[in-house]
Amino acid sequence: MSRTTQILAFSVPPTVAKEIETLAKRERRTKSELFREMVRVYGRYRAQREWHDQRWVENLIAEVKAEQAANPMSIEEMLKESERIARYGARQSKKLGIKPKDINRIIHEYRRERRP
């Protein structure tokens, strides 16, 4: 018969270990039960944070679209803005040491990390 649980080992500072023991005693739970609950709560927290981040981006896009509809830019203004943003990106990439050959790798790594 195979195990239905897996034993994990990790280290924490003594103060955190004491806090975990205190919480477990106070709630009359095992440290394993407490840890499982912490993982579930953290998972919900991350999902909610990602949802809020997504909503923030969607709201920002809606605001920009509304502003663009109210104050449309000319082709010349769009080209100037595009050049300004490109210069800013070039300065930031130089400051961070990012080379053109690194761009695709960085984008793919970022997307891989963001996948559920």
3-state secondary structure 74-92: CHHHHHHHHHHHHHHHHHH
What pLDDT does 1 receive? 66
**Cβ atoms < 10 Å from Cβ of 64:** 10
Question: Where exactly are the structural domains of the chain?
Answer: 11-72, 73-116
31-70 vs 14-26: helix axis angle to the nearest 10?
Answer: 100
Give the mean pLDDT per block of 10 residues along the chain (116 residues).
83 95 95 94 95 94 94 93 95 93 92 83
Report CA torsion sign: 36, 38, 41, 44. Answer: negative
